[in-house]
Amino acid sequence: MSSEYLPGLAGVPATKSNISDIDGEKGVLAYRGYDIRELALKSSFEETALLLLDGQLPTREELDEFDQQLRGERRVKYNIREIMKYLPSTGHPMEMLQTAVASLGMFYGGDEIFSDGYQAEDDYFIHSMSVKIISRMATIVAMWQHVRNGYDPIEPRSDLSHAENFLYMLHGRDPDPFEARIIDACLVLHAEHTINASTFAAMVCGSTLASPFLVIAAAIGTLAGPLHGGANQRVVEMLEEIGRPENVKDWLDMKLAEKEVIWGMGHREYKTKDPRAIVLQKMMVEWIERKGNLSPMFETALALEEACEKELGPKGVYPNVDYYSGILYTEMGIPADQFTPIFAVSRIAGWMAHWREQLSDNRIFRPTQIYTGEPAREYVPIEKR
């Protein structure tokens, strides 16, 4: 057994998985063998979620059934709404989301299925829980936008797609078809990304046979960190700090000299531009063509990317998925602190797929450590110290 210590478990295989794969040298991300760029253009979140859960592209009948199941699980009990009303309106939405999702298990139950361990392979239960949590995650995030401003949340509609209903509940108006298509593509792009920090957290929690609601709460808490899902909010704040394209060079020189993070730049897995960032940039261009104006934030982002390519490109540092997603959300009038919850609304599909895969051949995670503390010593009574 190797006793080599690798900080952050970098490069250490923690599991076997057939859900997604990354080729960092070529800039390729695939879900179940399907290129993410093709899925973002041709698929939908509902179809992609079912692909991740079941392993194959569904038939029309299978997709319609899954879609109807999602639509039928959008409502949450009023108790959840009441809990949300008593949370501080100034709190971060990710803290709210973790609290609300963890509490779902108290109202919907289901963890008794794991009481004997061997029942962890109950496919009906696993699918049912996946549908409930995927659907209600979007509902809770949209509800919070109104609750924290002192209003009752907007009831979900069953005649809209997952992306359309999310925008409807968020803004309180019929969704613009173009904006709904962008949100749907963003949900596809963020749905899965191999064994990242939040997915690993879900797997570790799931390996104990904890309730799926607690499994996802663990993943949400991990996603909340700025080094993971919180980066797209930081990108927008960074671009607002820069202000204009003409300020980019001096700002970047200063940040690089101080060895500070350039948010949205670089990824541990990719040595070229993140394939998801490529799709999002094209969507941003399409947004500009539809709206007829060049967003100052997008103009600044393009200038910063060009400057970073000269300075950081030789080191394999290019834009990642967070770089353009926040700009698109900003253009749609979505508050910056809701960016990471939207990430969770998407990534829940991948989390549930890995939860299911973990349970199919479960073994509780129990890594070891390298002890660096004091050698054995005797206890000294306090009066002699």
Catalytic residue among 146, 267, 274, 354: 267
Q: Report the chain's mean pLDDT, rounded to a whole number.
A: 90
Report pTM: 0.91
Residue 304 neighbours by CB under 8 Å, 6+ apart: 239, 242, 248, 252, 262
Within 10 angstroms of residue 135's Cβ, the number of other Cβ atoms is: 22
The structure tokens listed for 372 are 């660096």
Work out the angle at residue 199's Cα, subtended by the Cα atoms of residues 198 and 203, and round it to the nearest 5 degrees. 120
> Looking at the structure, do residues 133 and 216 belong to the same domain, yes or no?
yes
Does residue 323 form part of some domain?
yes
Closest C-alpha to 31, from 55, 14, 11? 55
Residue 69 lies in a domain: yes
**322 catalytic per annotation:** yes
**Do 78 and 211 fall into the same domain?**
yes
Report if residue 24 sits inside a domain.
yes
Q: What is the rounded CA–CA span in Å between residue 308 and residue 301?
A: 10
Whether residue 253 is found in the same domain as residue 120: no
Count of C-beta atoms within a 10 Å radius of residue 42:
10
Domain for residue 8, yes or no? no
132 & 53 share domain: yes
The reply to whether 12 falls in a domain is no
pLDDT grade for 268, boundaries at 50, 70 and 90: confident
**Of residues 322, 337, 354, 361, which has the active-site annotation?**
322
- Do 199 and 320 lie in one domain? The reply is no
What's 87's domain CATH number?
Answer: 1.10.580.10
Range of the domain at 279: 231-331
Same domain, 102 and 156: yes
Nearest CA-CA partner of 283 in 227, 312, 321, 245: 321
Examine residue 7 and state whether it is found in any structural domain, yes or no.
Answer: no
- Looking at per-residue pLDDT, the higher value among 358 and 267 belongs to 358
Give one DSSP letter per residue of 168-224, joined into a string.
HHHHSSPPPHHHHHHHHHHHHHHS--SS-HHHHHHHHHHHTT--HHHHHHHHHHHHT
Number of domains in the chain: 2
Q: Does residue 187 share a domain with residue 288?
A: no
Q: pLDDT tens, 149-195?
A: 999 999 999 999 999 999 999 999 999 999 999 999 999 999 999 99
